[in-house]
Amino acid sequence: MAIGRIGIYALLLAFAAVYLMPLYVMVMTSLKDIEEIRQGNLLSLPESPTFYAWVKAWGSACTGSECEGLAPFFFNSIRIVVPAVLISTLIGALNGYVLAKWKFRGSELLFGALLFGCFIPFQVILLPMARLLATLGLANTVTGLVLVHVIYGIAFTTLFFRNFYVSVPNELVKAAQLDGANFFQIFRHIFLPISVPIFTVTIIWQFTQIWNDFLFGVVYSGPGTQPITVALNNLVNTSVGGKEYNVDMAAALIAALPTLVVYVLAGKYFVRGLTAGAVKG
């Protein structure tokens, strides 16, 4: 029994170490100066920790011809992600509410078609979407990127909310109808308050997807609207003199930080939300 326990924990610790190793190397490397990195000791602690690389990655590293660091792109990403997440989540909530509780002729078919949207590879829509954005005059704009992400996200957000709302008893809708509530009042007073877990799941999912997106970001953005993923790529590929691994690592960590923070803050609710349908509340 005790020996079995020890074995299990040893194995778990070993796996955790394997998974955390890259993060450890990144953090350590970002805190070293370039001389120390050249000595080639990846796993050692920094001799004299310095935030030089972080400061440079944020404020003055070169991403192509400009040398303003990641900061402007970080805020580009924020400006894309926040509206795209909120809009796609709200539309998904409404869609899911209708598809679960206000079924109409063909609603199942529509849901099936929407599901299909989850399986369309990004590459397939690159050209048609570029044409569409050009026609709408949204090429190379933040609005255009938000639109692309909203459209692409609706399939997933609708799926999440629909499956969550299907488990809500129909009698609740009937009772509210008899109480005199209309379509939106039922959504607002009955469904929204019970939706906290599924909102958390959807927001985390959408935030991660859109923040980490590179392909749409590189294709549909212009010089002033590139998201941080594109800038990170440019930063790593631009070298002035030697390669600054510490700056690259710091930049990668900066780019990954928001999703990490979201998971740490809301991860508990994420797991809870994923299993919420399984338990009657």
Q: Which of 51, 54, 49 is nearest to 69 (CA)?
A: 54
* Binder of another protein out of 126, 181, 219, 256 (CB under 8 A): 181
Q: In a 10 Å sphere around its CB, with 0-12 CB exposed, 13-18 middle and 19+ buried, how is residue 204 labelled? A: buried
Task: Please tell me whether residue 4 binds another protein under the rule CB under 8 A.
Answer: no
Task: Give the span between the Cα atoms of 210 and 222, in whole angstroms.
Answer: 17
Task: Please tell me whether residue 106 binds another protein under the rule CB under 8 A.
Answer: no
Whether the CB-CB separation of 95 and 114 falls below 8 Å is answered with yes
Instruction: Please identify, using beta-carbon distances, which residue of 2 and 178 lies nearer to another protein.
Output: 178
* Binder of another protein out of 37, 85, 99, 190 (CB under 8 A): 190
Task: Please tell me whether residue 177 binds another protein under the rule CB under 8 A.
Answer: yes
* Total of residues contacting another protein (CB under 8 A): 18
Largest CA distance in the chain: 76
Would you tell me how many other CB atoms lie within 10 Å of the CB of residue 138?
Answer: 17
* Binder of another protein out of 113, 136, 175, 265 (CB under 8 A): 175
Provide the minimum distance between the beta carbon of 191 and another protein in the complex, in angstroms, as a whole number: 10
Find the radius of gyration of the CA atoms of the chain.
23
Which stretch, 125-133, 179-187, 254-262, 269-277, contacts another protein (CB under 8 A)?
Answer: 179-187
Q: Which residues make up the interface to another protein (CB under 8 A)? A: 169, 171-172, 174-182, 185, 189-190, 193-194, 281
